[in-house]
Amino acid sequence: MIDRTEIEKRDYIAAFDGLRAIAIMSIVGHQMMAYRIPGGFLGLNIFLLLSGYFMTASLMDSLMKNGKVPLKSFLTKRLKRIIIPTFAMIVAVIFYLLLFQRELLVNLRSTMVSNLFFMNNWWQIIQENDHAITVLTQSPFSHLWYMSLAVQYYLLWPILFVFLSVMIKKHQVLQKVVLALLVASVLLMITKDFSNVHFLRIFFGTDTRAFSVLTGAVVALLFPIQRFYGEYKQKYRYESVIRFVPIVLLVLSLFVMKEHSHLTFRGGMFIFDVIVAALMMISLHPKSVTSLFFRLKPLTVIGRRSLSYYLWYLPLSVLYQAKIGDTSSTPVLHRIVEIVLLVILGELWYQLFEKGKFSKVMNQLSAQWTHSTRRTVKMVYSAAVALILLIGFIQASPRLSAQESALQEVLLASESLSQNTRNTDKKVVKTINNIQGLSREETVFSSNTSITFIGDTMLLAMAQEIPTLYPNAVISANRDLQVFELGTMIDQLKEQKQLGDIIVLMVGSNGAYTKGQLDAVLKKIGMDKQIFLVSNTINRTWQGQINQISNNLAEKYSNVYYIDWKTESSTHPDWFYEKASIVNTTGAHQQGLWIAKMIYQTLRGS
């Protein structure tokens, strides 16, 4: 635990390390178990608030003591803390991929370049985070959009703040101007159209996420750390208890807010930032009860390593899962292995780059070398790094571009079809054409069936087969759909009277879910409906787990049935895009016929 004299000496706020620990644990927990911690992505907001606070506090301190800010040294010092470990991680991952998992280099060229120039957030916006790419091949660098965002703020905010400080002499007016910028950023977020495309613009945008940094800046302007050097006195009887209210609200937000919820981006995220800001303010004094809580040794240790943990949590997960395959038989064991590997790599990166031991070792070694030797070693080292990046860039050829382009076209067409089926009045089909692959009885049955398909990418990939098989079908699909978000979609379908007598659920492509969560969805749909759960083929670690859950619930309820598409398609790799995950056009046709046959056999056949 940091001594108070040390805190005063360095203006160090140990409690904020505890907040960083909460942030990184939320992020890692969300990545591993989004169905358990749906709001874990909000950990990034905590990072941004703390960055805004420390940048502004440091700038204000320099202005008050020296009357100016040495911008060059200020920016160099802080950017090096981010850029060097990030760059080293990228080089290390590419080197590993070249040696052991070259198949994951596919389509990494633009990702590598955008990350090396710290513009990945805007690249993902421009690319609309192409869902076809993320489905067919996971990227170990997709989380680095946040590092790009952080670098942009470290470049922009100090310059803007110094400019405002020079132009505005009164501190209170400066506070109001920063607050106005904060409000403008919030308005940019809440007024933008919320759709799949605009969601990415809102989530990754430098302007729409600026309010988190600005909230931290406002806290720094209102409550500089120097105000809390005096003795701490409790003013109210239950003050210690009241101070824990923001902690409770913060934890509650992590379990309630959802990544694709309108509530989150219509003010919910800003409310979360206000909660964190309140927590920061009441934790500034080193003797306050919340400060003591966040200064617990385990939290401060994790918090100080949060950058290194953040850099490695996704690459480790992607590389490990791609190597191991389906881990659903022993998920807890594999999660523990991933966490242990993360702790080891995070500690290594923390010691080498954040604590500067890499530089210290190199300096100690180079002290014994001649000038010529130092220059040679530096050239060899630079050439090796450049060679790794160059080979990685060349190897990362767009080999799957044709498949991705085809899948993207299918997904877009299916999304349009889904919308049309929900906006078109259903009429009784009078002319029933024969469908090759179905008997006359199966065709007549499907043509007059009141049916609703609900799902994610798995449904969108085969959705264009549905109107032929089920002319009266309603299709409700969302690429990013999670099972724990299904309640809102079902309520909308009920309100619009578009929930058919038969419901087909095709979910699980975006993450695992619990038996209780799917059970709740089935009950919300209603026990008066005939519900069919289609097994998932997504090439992810949770595939076996969710298919088993669906099968178990089908055995539990008499109106719920399990369609084992996974087994049916297992001997037909030609029905899928690469990696046997999402059906291609041939597979979509076969899947549509299989579902139609299974529904008919279950409800009408022998």
pLDDT for 60-114, tens place per residue?
888 877 777 788 888 888 898 999 999 999 999 999 998 888 877 876 788 888 8
What distance in Å separates the CA atoms of residue 180 and residue 333, rounded to the nearest whole number?
49
The pLDDT of 423-449, averaged and rounded, is 76
The pLDDT of 129-157, averaged and rounded, is 82
**Alpha-carbon separation of residue 379 from 71, 136, 372, 375, 392 (angstroms):** 30, 39, 11, 6, 20
Contacts of 286-290 with C-beta under 8 Å, sequence gap 24+, read 286/4, 286/7, 286/13, 286/14, 286/15, 286/228, 286/232, 287/4, 287/231, 287/232, 288/232, 288/243, 289/240, 289/243, 289/244, 290/15, 290/243, 290/244, 290/246, 290/247
The pLDDT of 463-475, averaged and rounded, is 92
Residue 398, pLDDT score:
58
Contact indicator for 461, 588 with CB cutoff of 8 Å: yes
Class of domain 402-603: alpha beta
Least confident among 72-81, 288-297, 389-398 = 389-398
Residue 9, pLDDT score:
43
473: nearest Cα among 482, 462, 457 = 462
What distance in Å separates the CA atoms of residue 274 and residue 329, rounded to the nearest whole number?
41
Give the start-to-end residue ranges of the domains of the chain.
Answer: 4-395, 402-603
pLDDT in tens, 507-555: 998 888 889 999 999 999 999 999 999 999 887 778 888 999 999 999 9
What distance in Å separates the CA atoms of residue 478 and residue 489, rounded to the nearest whole number?
10
542: nearest Cα among 525, 517, 524 = 517
| The amino acid at 145 | W
Contact indicator for 517, 484 with CB cutoff of 8 Å: yes
Residue 237, pLDDT score:
57
Residue 315, pLDDT score:
95
pLDDT in tens, 270-288: 999 999 999 998 887 777 7
The pLDDT of 22-43, averaged and rounded, is 93
At residue 180 the predicted structure's pLDDT band, cuts being 50, 70 and 90, is very high
Least confident among 50-59, 229-238, 478-487, 558-567 = 229-238
Contact indicator for 392, 105 with CB cutoff of 8 Å: yes
Two structure tokens written together for 43: 């950990």
**Packing angle of the helix pair 269-283, 171-191 (nearest 10 deg):** 150
At residue 8 the predicted structure's pLDDT band, cuts being 50, 70 and 90, is very low
Residue 253, pLDDT score:
95
Contact indicator for 411, 457 with CB cutoff of 8 Å: yes
Q: Which helix (H) or strand (E) holds 530?
A: strand 530-534
Q: Which residues of 147-176 are buried (b: 16+ CB within 10 A; e: fewer)?
A: bbbbbbbbeebbeebbeebeeeeeeeebee
Mean pLDDT for the chain? 85
